[in-house]
């Protein structure tokens, strides 16, 4: 009996930044390499290529993923957002704006991954997901404050070789405040205006 032949490639569809891309791809290619080499989305950076630095962080179904450890075929049918897709046209995402306003970057190499991670951190916090430093993670405790310690813990998977951590924490805090203000119901004073 002849051995079965197996193919290591096939065509997949990746939904990246709201656009569908049809790609013939090797099953073994990482999401990072598919984004950078096949789709020319070079905002996502290749840092350590071992999942330790966070420079390659993207959002998959609105959750942060280190794309150097994720296979492209595993992302088929899921919503992928890279740094190129976080702004709304010419209007920067609040996290991007906060990074600019508060100098949350220096050389800029880690910044795309930091921003994607920060977007997810803010959403995780708003959803009430605890971190390792959350004082009381019980549901009755309510939403914990997004303190600098909380931000540092939640962003700990993203390294900055330049050491812009103080500004990064401030930028995440400002963007979180902006998100909280947008999601608050309008008061009667605001609605009367």
Q: Is the pTM of this model over 0.85?
A: yes
- Edge-first strand order for the sheet with 79-81 is 19-26, 9-16, 79-81, 57-60, 63-66
Q: Supply the mean pLDDT for the chain.
A: 91
User: Around Cβ 106, how many Cβ atoms within 10 Å?
Assistant: 14
Structure tokens at 101: 């306003």
Over residues 156-183, the mean pLDDT reads: 93
pLDDT at 60 over 70: yes
| Higher pLDDT, residue 184 or 97 | 97
Q: Give 80's contacts (C-beta < 8 A, 6+ positions apart).
A: 14, 15, 16, 17, 31, 35, 58, 59, 60
pLDDT at 180 over 90: no
Share of the chain above pLDDT 90, in %: 77
Do residues 21 and 82 lie in contact, with contact meaning Cβ atoms separated by under 8 Å? no
Structure tokens at 123: 């959403």
Instruction: For 114-142, write each residue's pLDDT tens digit.
Output: 999 999 999 999 998 889 888 876 667 67
* Chain centre to alpha carbon of residue 130: 18
């Amino acid at each position: 009996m002849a051995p079965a032949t197996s193919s290591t490639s096939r065509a997949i569809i990746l939904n990246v930044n709201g656009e569908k891309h049809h790609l013939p791809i090797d099953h073994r290619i990482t999401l990072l390499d598919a984004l950078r080499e096949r789709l020319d989305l070079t905002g996502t950076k290749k840092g350590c290529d071992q999942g330790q630095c966070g420079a390659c962080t993207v959002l998959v179904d609105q959750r942060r993923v280190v794309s150097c450890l994720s296979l492209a075929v595993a992302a088929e049918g899921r919503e992928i957002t890279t740094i190129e897709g976080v702004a709304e046209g010419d209007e920067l995402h609040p996290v991007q704006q906060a990074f600019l306003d508060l100098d949350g970057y220096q050389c800029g190499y880690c910044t795309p991954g930091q921003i994607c991670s920060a977007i997810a951190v803010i959403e995780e916090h708003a959803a009430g997901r605890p971190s390792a430093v959350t004082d009381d993670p019980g549901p009755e405790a309510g939403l914990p404050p997004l303190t600098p310690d909380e931000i540092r813990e939640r962003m700990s998977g993203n390294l900055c070789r330049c050491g812009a951590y103080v500004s990064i924490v401030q930028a995440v805090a400002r963007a979180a405040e902006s998100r909280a203000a947008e999601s608050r119901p309008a008061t009667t004073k605001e609605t009367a205006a």
